[in-house]
């Protein structure tokens, strides 16, 4: 089930053989590792719907320190104070959450919930389908995000924008995502790069890093079996050179880095555990 379907039920990335992700390249930096590894809660969406507390406990037990919540899904109908108590019990922090377009119409309430939950970022998870029908659709949404970002800054929060594969549609050679990003005010809206979604949309995530690198403040680390693939895969088992991408991120300890996986070869919790083992030990 893809993200959009699930929400409705609730109301050349450097292309190389997969082994290149697991073995250092000649001359590659190998001195750094991530200080904190987070998990986007959508990765364990089905388990969280059944028992959010147990899911958070399992995330913490694996070793994850951060979790990105889902205000867009009302955190599985769990009140903010209750979610915060769960996070505190399990030693987790939630520096960001994904929001939906409906949350943009209730920013004061979103800011109040963010204060309770400890968020610093409210990140729009997805554009509506109509926005992707033309360049004007993308630029109009950029203007809307700029206005919302200005309102969010008054609450000492940041608005963010997260890419999805369909954002990389082109109109007469101009890519919608580029049109949107170029119109966004970086003093009001920051970017979250989902590297797997970019690759699924046919865009090399390293090209995005080279073009917009300093504007990315949060990341979804996701692997894919092939460029333009219809689904993702476990970290280190796909074609993306995640080591090179992490090495490209400046001031990485000040950024938010989350694992996200949306499809699985078996039990999701097993993939989440292997993803953590891969990413937490990767030197770059």
Domain boundaries, the chain: 3-7+37-281
* Average pLDDT score, the chain: 92
pLDDT at residue 158 is higher than 70: yes
Q: What is the pLDDT of residues 17-61, one digit of tens each?
A: 333 333 344 444 568 999 999 999 999 999 999 999 999 999 999
pLDDT at residue 78 is higher than 90: yes
pLDDT at site 31: 83
Calculate mean pLDDT across residues 234-238. Answer: 98
Beta bridge partners of 190: 160
Closest CA to 246 of 205, 199, 187: 205
118 — alpha (psi -120 to 50), left (phi > 0) or beta? left
CA 164 to the chain's CA centroid: 10
pLDDT at site 30: 63
- The CATH number of 3-7+37-281 is 3.20.20.150
**Under a CB-based contact definition with an 8 Å cutoff, are residues 84 and 112 in contact?**
no
pLDDT at site 67: 98
Q: What is the pLDDT of residues 129-139, one digit of tens each?
A: 999 999 999 99
Structure pTM?
A: 0.90
Sequence-distant (6+) residues with CB within 8 A of 154 are: none
**Two tokens at 10?**
């609730």
Calculate mean pLDDT across residues 106-131. Answer: 98
pLDDT band for 3, please (50, 70, 90 cuts). Answer: low
pLDDT at residue 213 is higher than 80: yes
116 vs 35: CA distance, rounded Å: 25
Element (H, E) at 256: strand 256-259
Residue linked to tokens 């970022």 = 121
Least confident of 4-13, 172-181, 236-245: 4-13
3-state DSSP assignment of residue 160: strand
**Two tokens at 5?**
């379907």
Least confident of 5-19, 38-52, 169-183, 264-278: 5-19
Q: What is the pLDDT of residues 245-257, one digit of tens each?
A: 999 999 999 999 9
Q: Please tell me the number of Cα atoms within 13 Å of 241 on its side-chain side.
A: 20
185 vs 139: CA distance, rounded Å: 12
Residue linked to tokens 């190998």 = 30
Closest CA to 36 of 255, 278, 235, 251: 255
């Amino acid at each position: 089930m893809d993200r959009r379907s699930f929400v409705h039920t609730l109301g050349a990335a450097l292309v190389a053989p997969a082994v290149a992700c697991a073995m250092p390249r000649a001359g590659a930096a190998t001195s750094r590792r991530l200080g904190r590894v987070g998990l986007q809660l959508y990765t364990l969406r089905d388990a969280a719907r059944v028992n959010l507390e147990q899911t958070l406990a399992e995330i913490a037990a694996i070793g994850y320190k951060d979790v990105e919540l889902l205000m867009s899904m009302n955190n599985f109908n769990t009140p903010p104070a209750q979610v915060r108590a769960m996070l505190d019990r399990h030693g987790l922090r939630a520096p960001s959450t994904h929001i939906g377009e409906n949350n943009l119409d209730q920013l004061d309430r979103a800011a109040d919930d963010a204060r309770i939950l400890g968020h610093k970022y409210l990140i729009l998870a997805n554009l509506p389908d109509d926005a992707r029908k033309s360049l004007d659709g993308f630029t109009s949404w950029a203007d809307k995000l700029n206005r919302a970002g200005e309102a969010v800054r008054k609450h000492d929060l940041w608005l963010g924008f997260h890419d999805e594969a369909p954002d990389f549609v082109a109109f007469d050679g101009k890519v919608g995502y580029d049109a949107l990003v170029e119109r966004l005010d970086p003093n009001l809206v920051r970017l979250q790069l989902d590297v797997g979604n970019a690759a699924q949309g046919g865009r090399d995530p390293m090209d995005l890093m080279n073009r917009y690198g300093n504007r990315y403040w949060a990341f979804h680390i996701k692997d894919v079996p092939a460029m333009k693939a219809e689904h993702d895969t476990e970290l280190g088992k796909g074609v993306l050179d995640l080591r090179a991408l992490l090495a490209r991120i400046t001031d990485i300890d000040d950024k938010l880095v989350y694992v996200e996986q949306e499809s699985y070869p078996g039990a999701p919790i097993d993939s989440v555990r292997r993803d953590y083992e891969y990413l937490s030990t990767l030197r770059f």
